[in-house]
């Protein structure tokens, strides 16, 4: 099939076995690549025993997948997926990395990792050469030193073998991933992360420190080369004119989202409005930015901005910070200082942590400390809003599982359950998450940012703001699934019909938007939803309880122009009911039998009978 090599490296770390596998062309047409193909592989390999699979056990898979548009569409991303240690479902977690291009030019479309090594290991791929190597020299290192090792030790070796060539692509985990912290990310290029899902912990559980890839071959053949060139020129002209994103990236949101739309997390989401002008974009531009236009492979937008801060004589580098990192490691912690939140963002990058979910759990703890539920004796120090040094210390405790950090390394929801039991008071109402995953830094109470009150509640990826439910359904998660499967950057903001045309020019598949929304996208959504509801082994989700917003979003906003606004439970439930109807779920939120069978998912329907029995037998007020 055009646009694919249909070659996937399958590595068993337990036995050190390496082989190359392919899939039927029909599977590639149905599930595309990236998230979609990953969901299918996970169902095929693990679906029948999903509820007993430990996400951090050797039986879980770690998938690193490209899509058919990788190398042709501006930007370079991979989708990292597996059974999530945060939700026990599947999250398609994407990150920008040249590994995507290198993998394709090495002749492959993805990597399947299974088992667990008996010692720290890294995977080296140079064209058709695939090796598992001892990672003892880099195990325990942070992001910067890991990259230095790749550049100073492995890259020269590759260059000696191949001759002059560009640097390899790579992904890796930091100390957090090595210690199976559930908020650990899979990292690349110092500041890029696949954060949602906790796959840094999965990679660490397999004792896999890094994957390094160098390819020197061509990309796969495409269906229509001449038309591809025309569409690429059109796309480049469009993206090059995106002056706002090009000039400022998403960093302006750290001020604008709070001030203009009243929807930014402040002090664990108690507030969502601020007018802290010290967070305006000019203060980042003049205070921390050192590189203005930094781009992913082949992307003319160049939206990334490189920042530097010096803390205690040490230099820290990060990207932006982008809006999500700046909000969760800034305003959410009461930090309104540009250099302070930039430092916390850089520290998360260095330790290999997802800033969203880590900032979420730290805001949760700070509120518990403020309320007296947690004390100095519990933490070992005082944790006050805005105290950058205290939050940096807490971040390191989480990374190295020291003291209370060992509990917090389990993520906000699991930590809340355990603290409620230990303290004899229900603290889950202060945990701002959906199905174990922190909501994105976009509130829904004001109705000015994410206007759909059920967007997080019914998302198949929990609180993930990049995969949100919507009515009409064509404007939400089904569209996002295509982005994560094809794989393209959602910030390119091009018309979806044109994106489908681009896909057809590459693959020759003849896909229509209507068929995507009514069949292919729906099939992936239902399969992913099924795995989320099967869940296990430690946590199970009941849609009647958990297809809901965090409790905090039902509290009225206390400040700003949207003072007093909150969500209505009745309105949310009605929207959820309507969404169920539109996507083909029953009244309990479970995919309907007839819909599953019409999508060719008969085996999934049979497996869901256990979920139907469990949900219907439980008592919900």
pLDDT of 451 > 70? The answer is no
Residue 124's CATH number: 3.60.9.10
Give the CA radius of gyration of the chain. 23
Give the dihedral of Cα atoms 269, 273, 275, 281; nearest 10 deg.
Answer: 70
Average pLDDT over residues 177-195: 97
Nearest CA among 305, 186, 296, 195 for reference residue 244: 305
Nearest CA among 189, 432, 188, 393 for reference residue 291: 189
The partner residues of 125 in beta bridges, in order of sequence, read: 130, 213
3-class secondary structure, 308: strand
In this prediction, residue 363 carries a pLDDT of: 99
Q: What are phi and psi of 6, to 5 degrees?
A: 55, 45
Residue 429's CATH number: 1.10.569.10
Q: Are residues 136 and 36 in the same domain?
A: yes
Task: Please say whether the dihedral angle defined by the alpha carbons of residues 235, 240, 241 and 242, taken in this order, is positive or negative.
Answer: positive
Query: Which position has the higher pLDDT, 476 or 346?
Result: 346
Is 227 a domain residue? no
What are 24-42's pLDDT values in tens digits?
999 999 999 999 999 999 9
In this prediction, residue 237 carries a pLDDT of: 84
In this prediction, residue 621 carries a pLDDT of: 46
Is 548 a domain residue? yes
Q: Per-residue confidence at 242, pLDDT binned at 50, 70, 90?
A: low
Cα(76)–Cα(99) distance, integer angstroms: 8
What are 49-99's pLDDT values in tens digits?
999 999 999 999 999 999 999 999 988 999 999 999 999 999 999 999 999
Residue 549's CATH number: 1.10.599.10
Domain-ending residue, one of 380, 408, 437? 437
Q: Are residues 260 and 181 in the same domain?
A: no
The partner residues of 214 in beta bridges, in order of sequence, read: 126
Cα(11)–Cα(130) distance, integer angstroms: 9
Q: Per-residue confidence at 514, pLDDT binned at 50, 70, 90?
A: very high
Q: Are residues 428 and 445 in the same domain?
A: no
Mean pLDDT across the chain: 96
Domain-ending residue, one of 390, 421, 437? 437
Cα(236)–Cα(232) distance, integer angstroms: 6
Cβ atoms of 534 and 50 within 8 Å: the answer is yes
Instruction: Name the region of 7 (left: φ>0; alpha: ψ -120 to 50; beta: rest).
Output: beta
DSSP state at residue 115: S
Cα(448)–Cα(259) distance, integer angstroms: 11
In this prediction, residue 619 carries a pLDDT of: 59
pLDDT of 243 > 80? The answer is no
Cα(15)–Cα(116) distance, integer angstroms: 9
Is 565 a domain residue? yes
Is 3 a domain residue? no
Q: Are residues 422 and 455 in the same domain?
A: no
The partner residues of 21 in beta bridges, in order of sequence, read: 8
Is 55 a domain residue? yes
Nearest CA among 463, 457, 476, 472 for reference residue 589: 457
In this prediction, residue 218 carries a pLDDT of: 98
Domain-ending residue, one of 437, 459, 480? 437
Q: Are residues 306 and 430 in the same domain?
A: yes
Half-sphere exposure of 82 (CA within 13 A, CB side): 30
Q: Are residues 52 and 144 in the same domain?
A: yes
Q: Are residues 317 and 430 in the same domain?
A: yes
Instruction: Name the region of 530 (left: φ>0; alpha: ψ -120 to 50; beta: rest).
Output: alpha
Is 229 a domain residue? no
Cα(251)–Cα(304) distance, integer angstroms: 9
In this prediction, residue 13 carries a pLDDT of: 99
For the chain, what percent of residues have pLDDT higher than 90?
A: 91
Q: According to DSSP H, which parts of 22-125 are helical? A: 25-31, 34-46, 99-105
Q: Are residues 410 and 398 in the same domain?
A: yes
Q: Are residues 80 and 121 in the same domain?
A: yes
In this prediction, residue 55 carries a pLDDT of: 99
Nearest CA among 53, 89, 47 for reference residue 606: 47
Q: Residue for token digits 């730290």?
A: 362
Length of the chain (residues)? 621
Q: Are residues 120 and 157 in the same domain?
A: yes
The most confident of the ranges 287-296, 492-501, 541-550 is: 541-550
pLDDT of 620 > 70? The answer is no
The H or E element containing residue 361 is helix 355-370
Q: How many distinct structural domains can be found in the chain?
A: 3
Other Cβ atoms closer than 10 A to 303: 24
Q: Are residues 259 and 390 in the same domain?
A: yes
In this prediction, residue 449 carries a pLDDT of: 86
What are 413-444's pLDDT values in tens digits?
999 999 999 999 999 999 999 999 999 999 99
Is 242 a domain residue? no
Is 487 a domain residue? yes
DSSP E strand stretches across 451-577: none
Residue 365: give the domain boundaries: 249-437
Alpha-carbon separation of residue 601 from 39, 40, 136, 439 (angstroms): 13, 11, 44, 30
pLDDT of 525 > 80? The answer is yes
Cβ atoms of 247 and 316 within 8 Å: the answer is no
What are 589-599's pLDDT values in tens digits?
999 999 999 99
With b for 16 or more beta-carbon neighbours within 10 A and e for fewer, the 251-288 pattern comes to bbbbbbbbbbbbbbbbbbbbbbbbeeeebebebbbeeb
Cα(354)–Cα(356) distance, integer angstroms: 6
Q: Are residues 395 and 295 in the same domain?
A: yes
What are 362-413's pLDDT values in tens digits?
999 999 999 999 999 999 999 999 999 999 999 999 999 999 999 999 999 9
């Amino acid at each position: 099939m055009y646009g694919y090599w249909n070659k996937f490296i399958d590595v068993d770390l337990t036995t050190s076995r390496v082989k190359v596998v392919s899939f039927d062309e029909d599977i590639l047409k149905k599930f595309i690549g990236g998230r979609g193909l990953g969901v299918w592989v996970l169902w095929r390999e693990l679906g029948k025993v999903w509820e007993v699979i430990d996400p951090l056990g050797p039986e879980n898979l770690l998938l690193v997948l490209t899509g058919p548009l990788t190398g042709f569409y501006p930007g370079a991303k991979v989708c990292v997926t597996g059974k999530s240690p945060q939700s026990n479902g599947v999250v398609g977690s994407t990150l920008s990395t040249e590994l995507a291009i290198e993998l394709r030019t090495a002749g492959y479309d993805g990597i399947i990792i299974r088992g667990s090594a008996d010692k720290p290991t890294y995977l080296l791929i140079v064209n058709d050469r695939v090796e598992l190597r001892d990672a003892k020299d880099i195990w325990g290192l942070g992001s910067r030193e890991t990259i230095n090792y790749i550049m100073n030790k492995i890259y020269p070796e590759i260059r000696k073998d191949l001759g002059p060539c560009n640097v390899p692509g790579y992904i890796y985990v930091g100390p957090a991933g090595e210690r199976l912290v559930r908020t650990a990310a899979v990292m690349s290029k110092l500041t890029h992360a696949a954060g949602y899902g906790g796959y840094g912990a999965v990679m660490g559980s397999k004792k896999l420190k890094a994957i390094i890839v160098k390819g020197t071959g061509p990309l796969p053949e495409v269906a229509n080369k001449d038309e591809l060139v025309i569409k690429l020129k059109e796309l480049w002209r469009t993206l090059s004119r995106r002056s706002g994103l090009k000039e400022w990236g998403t960093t302006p949101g750290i001020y604008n989202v709070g001030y203009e739309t009243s929807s930014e997390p402040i002090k664990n989401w108690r507030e969502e409005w601020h007018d802290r002008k010290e967070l305006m974009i000019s203060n980042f531009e003049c205070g921390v930015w050192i590189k203005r236009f930094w781009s992913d492979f082949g992307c003319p937008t160049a939206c990334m901005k490189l920042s530097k801060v010096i803390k205690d004589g040490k230099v820290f580098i990060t990207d932006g910070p982008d809006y999500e990192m700046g909000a969760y490691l800034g305003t959410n912690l009461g930090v309104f200082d540009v250099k302070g939140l930039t430092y916390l963002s850089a520290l998360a990058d260095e330790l290999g942590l997802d800033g969203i979910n880590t900032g979420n759990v730290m805001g949760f703890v700070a509120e518990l400390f403020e309320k007296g539920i947690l004390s100095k004796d519990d933490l070992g120090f005082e944790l006050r809003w805005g105290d950058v040094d205290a939050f940096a210390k807490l971040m390191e405790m989480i990374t190295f599982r020291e003291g209370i950090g060992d509990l917090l390394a389990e993520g906000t929801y699991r930590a809340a359950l355990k603290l409620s039991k230990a303290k004899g008071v229900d603290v889950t109402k202060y945990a701002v998450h959906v199905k174990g995953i922190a909501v994105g830094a976009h509130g829904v109470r004001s109705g000015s940012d994410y206007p759909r009150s059920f967007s997080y509640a019914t998302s198949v990826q929990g609180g993930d703001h990049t995969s949100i439910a919507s009515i009409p359904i064509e404007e939400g998660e089904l569209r996002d699934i295509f982005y994560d499967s094809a794989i393209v950057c959602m910030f390119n903001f091009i018309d979806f019909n044109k994106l489908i045309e681009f896909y057809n020019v590459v693959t020759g598949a003849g896909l229509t938007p209507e068929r995507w929304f009514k069949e292919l996208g729906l099939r992936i959504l239902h399969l992913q939803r099924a795995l989320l509801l099967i869940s296990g082994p430690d946590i199970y989700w009941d849609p009647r309880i958990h297809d809901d917003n965090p409790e905090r979003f039902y509290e009225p906003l206390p400040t700003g122009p949207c003072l007093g606004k909150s969500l209505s439970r009745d309105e949310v439930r009605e929207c959820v009911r309507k969404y169920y109807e539109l996507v083909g779920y029953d009244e309990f939120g479970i995919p309907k039998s007839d819909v599953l069978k019409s999508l060719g998912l008969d085996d999934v329907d049979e497996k869901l009978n256990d979920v139907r029995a469990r949900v219907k037998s439980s008592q919900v007020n």
